[in-house]
Chain A
Amino acid sequence: MFPPIPNPSVASDAATPRFGEKDVMRRSASEVTPPAQRLTEVAKLIDVSKCIGCKACQAACLEWNNLTEEIGFNHGTYTNPMDLTPDTFTLMRFTEWVNPETENLEWLIRKDGCMHCEDPGCLKACPAPGAIVQYSNGIVDFQHDNCIGCGYCIKGCPFNIPRISKVDHTAYKCTLCSDRVAVGQGPACQKACPTQAIVFGTKDEMKDWAELRITDLKSRGFENAGLYDPPGVGGTHVMYVLHHADTPSIYAGLPDNPRISPLVDAWKGMTKYVGLAVMGFAAAAGFLHYVVAGPNKVSEEDEENAERLADGTPPPAPPAGLHEGRTP
């Protein structure tokens, strides 16, 4: 058993958050000076092999965050709602998978939600200063007062997580319960998880714990058991223990090699700099041209020629050889 986190204190003096503005490591659309000392990185570890798909995490998330999801419909699956929504920050996704090697049915159940990437694509994509922050403990948090609801985070996210609320038009996703972590608690989902398929602690602890789990799984014949901490996004602060870590995509489309899309990189990188440069160049070129070439003015002669033309008096012929392109 991973040692439970003691019950929270309700005393008013226990409420001072242990991290905040000064621990912001990245801030969307802003330059920040990273804190001199990084907080110990935290992580949530989701052990898919221990998960019984009970959805306690989903319920706890709804309750803690005071979210009201709609009562939906059955679509022939246990996955409900059908997808993450602005009110469903976390979702159990159920996959019936027949292992081609053993021909045994395996019911793969994965808790989907924000991975809290070390290199967060949402933050990279976000145009609104401070709408997304990353604390130096690894938590990527949305600040709704700053969010403009553009949905760029959705495009930036390699895991398809954020959702825009139709009510307040801001983006929502798992906060890793930053309010709870700030007072020394774990996230609500982790607290609830009946089988400790979700545990929470420092990232190092979680990796050590995962190792124990992987050893156990290998002893039970899951040779490809492993930790999902994808390097493509610099590692994540929500990690999975998978029995089939060689093929993450069988778990309801968990990306095999997630990374910030090259398109997003190009958009927020190259395009931004090159684009600004090109536009600046165009403006500068015009300015320079004006300085060098001077204004292109109509001469008195031109006016006279025009008057003559209008009066029916033939204007002087142009210099020979220069108007060969003209229409007869």
Chain B
Amino acid sequence: MSADNLKTDTPNDVEPGDSVRPGHPVQVSRYTLPARINHWITALSLVLLALSGMALFTPKLFFLTGLFGGGQWTRVLHPWIGVVLFFSFAGLFLRFWRANLPAREDGTWLARISDVLRGREERLPEIGKYNAGQKFVFWGMSGLIIVLIASGIAMWDQYFYAFTTIEQKRVAVLVHAVAAVCIICVWIIHVYAAIWVKGTIGAMTRGKVTGGWAWRHHRKWLRELVGKPRRPVPRPGTPAE
């Protein structure tokens, strides 16, 4: 994030690289290429962590260790993928945290969650770049990843055995497991939302959405983009959809 993004006159909702290209249909740049790469590294890490973690979490899924070259490799790789995830997500965090700060309309959005679920967006307020659900995913991921990396290190015996007591390790494994369940649930919400809301996935693949998509789901953000002067695309980020 470049320094001028921090200018107070720049609306929080607009991230570097966001832009509108008029046409038919209107094309809206939502995520820059680096943001998308960052996202997919994170996504891949998270999926691998979920798979390897689940393998160690329940015997029924232990067969998943086969994906990683067996139990020993799973045990070796999981924490290292966690480290990758941590730093990768840290990148996302720095890109997206400002746009994910709470806004006034988030409350209304949440209050009308049944309308959200029914897809009656006309009954919702105009939303910035991220709606409250997306912000929940963002902050949920952020918090859980911190919990997971902290508890994960406490149970990473190969390097950190000596630094905690066994009782602390026990707390750590329990916390790690609960946090992992939570983060997987958050991830499910995230992925489902991307599938349910058609036209979303393109944001993270090609980096673009249609104007109609933006109009329908993030009208406030679209309005801000339209109102903002054109400028070359710097390095933007990608939110957790």
Contact = CB atoms under 8 A, between A and B. Distances in A.
Interface in B54-107: 55-59, 62, 65, 70-72, 74-76, 103-105, 107
Interface stretch (B1-9, B141-149, B193-201, B231-239): B193-201
Contacts of A30: 59
Contact of A293 (B74, B117, B123): B117
A207 interface: no
Contacts, number: 198
A121 to B, nearest CB: 10
Contacts of B49: none
Interface string A245-288: 00000000000000001011011000110111011001100100
Nearest to B224: A327
The 8 A-B residue pairs whose C-beta atoms are closest, nearest first, are: A306-B211, A148-B71, A325-B125, A303-B212, A29-B59, A325-B108, A302-B212, A286-B192
B59 to A, nearest CB: 3
Given A148-B71, A307-B211, A318-B122, A155 B170 contact: yes
A327 B13 CA distance: 12
Interface stretch (A7-15, A39-47, A92-100, A308-316): A308-316
Interface of A: 28-30, 127-129, 146-152, 154-155, 160, 164, 169, 261, 263-264, 266-267, 271-272, 274-276, 278-279, 282-283, 286, 289-290, 293-307, 309-311, 315, 318-319, 322-327
Contacts of A151: 155, 157, 161
B188 A302 contact: no
A267 B181 CA distance: 12
B107 to A, nearest CB: 7
A326 B155 contact: no
B211 to A, nearest CB: 3
A283 B188 contact: yes
Given A128-B71, A282-B185, A275 B105 contact: no
Contacts of B184: 279, 282
Nearest to B213: A298
Contacts of A128: 62, 71
Contact of B75 (A149, A300, A309, A326): A149
Contacts of B57: 127, 272, 275
B216 A299 contact: yes
A169 B159 CA distance: 12
A303 B25 contact: yes
Contact of A298 (B58, B126, B212): B212
A318 B215 CA distance: 12
